[in-house]
Amino acid sequence: MTREPGESWRLPPVASLLAAVLLIACAEVGGASMVRFKLDLARWARSVILARPAIHGLVGVRDVDEQVIDEALVKFDASLRLFHLHAEGMGLVIIATTMAAATLVSPGVPRRVLLVLLTAGGAGYPFGYLLWGVLIPYHGVERAKAVAEWLAWIPFGGGTIVATWWLAAVVGARLVRRA
Amino acid sequence: MRRPPLVVVFIGLFVIALGESAGALMTRLRPQIERYARARVAANPQAHGLAGSAEYDAEVTARAVYTAEAGLSFFHTHAQGLGPLAIFVSTIAASAVPWRRARGAVYALLALGALFPLGYLAYSLAALEWGREVGVEAIERYVLAPLGTAAIAALVALAVLLLAARRRATA
């Protein structure tokens, strides 16, 4: 097989690969911990919720309170699952997209900006789910969601969405020019 | 590693971008999406078998809306998975399959397979427009099954070609 230099992938920066690998590792650890410490995590969340009755709207009536606590615990569990899933997925997305950016975008400021957005956005976004989960027992489901949204999902998720569309547009334009 | 054709890379990136955007929109616009879904079910009473009984119709509507939301969720997760898969698997084909036509066939199958997540968008819409069971069955049969089969065929073909290339190299 003969190899033309223009037809080979360029490696993305080591920082991007490191971020992706660590993110995937965090996802694996998160998934394993969810299984291993399921009861401990639920017990911890429950105790924090019970210590903050006003925040969760607990009224002291067992039937009513148990339903509220169950709903919060379901969301708490979902947040950990979503962290696990998104971190695994985004790790691979970071590798694929930064490899494409490093190879197909001309060197310069735009490429550096793209690589930063794809790496930081992709790596930061899944931690929003972890943040949401940790904050649920302290601040309630909706307030915790709003914090995670503004601190992680909008900045990091927004960054990676903009960068991925930008990269797709650059590759699409190159495809059109070549045609 | 060799780079696959630009068109395969573009499809992979496009599907990833769609999947990411869908996830964000699903979170931000959940109430609007639910309202739209309910409106579409109400606009197609015959397709959904609405009977005019409030209790029964509410249950049928809830099931159709749940199916449409599940379709959007599947679209998001599958797009995030199949986009990178198309790029990585086509890279393996580009690097390790020595036969040009065989590589081309794997690229074509992968490009089709990468569009599989879009089938879930159609699944959501069909469940609302044609009724839950009819819509889901039609999309599964005519969209999801062919596109999913293309992705599976690409992976199986690549595995066979890798074995053949190895045998050729050792012969």
pLDDT tens sequence across B101-138? 999 999 999 999 999 999 999 999 999 999 999 999 99
pLDDT for residue B27:
86
Give the model confidence (pLDDT) of B65-98 as tens digits. 999 999 999 999 999 999 999 999 999 999 999 9
CA distance A155 to A150: 7
What pLDDT does residue A63 have? Answer: 87
- A161 to B20: CB separation less than 8 angstroms, yes or no: yes
Mean pLDDT on B128-155: 96
Least CB-CB distance to A8: which of B3, B14, B27? Answer: B3
8 Å CB contact between B76 and B87: no
Query: Which pair of tokens denotes residue B87?
Result: 């790029």
pLDDT of residue A6: 54
Q: How confident is the model at residue B171 (pLDDT cuts 50, 70, 90)?
A: confident
Q: C-alpha angle A83/B80/A130, rounded to 5°?
A: 10
CB B37 within 8 Å of CB B69: yes
Higher pLDDT, A80 or B27: A80
Contact A93 B84 (CB under 8 A): yes
Query: Mean pLDDT throughout B41-66?
Result: 93
Q: CB count, 10 Å around CB of B4?
A: 26
> Backbone dihedral region of A108: left (phi > 0), alpha (psi from -120 to 50 degrees) or beta?
left
Ranges of residues in chain A with a pLDDT under 50 are 1-5
Q: What is the pLDDT of residue A1?
A: 42
In this prediction, residue A5 carries a pLDDT of: 45
For residue B44, give the 3-state DSSP assignment: coil
Q: What percentage of chain B carries pLDDT values higher than 90?
A: 93
Nearest beta carbon to residue A7 from set B2, B7, B12: B2
Judging contacts by C-beta atoms under 8 Å, the chain A residues touching residue B18 are: none
Q: How many CB pairs under 8 A join A and B?
A: 78
Determine contact: B87 vs chain A, CB below 8 A. yes
Per-residue pLDDT at A4: 47
Q: Is A25 on the interface with B (CB under 8 A)?
A: no
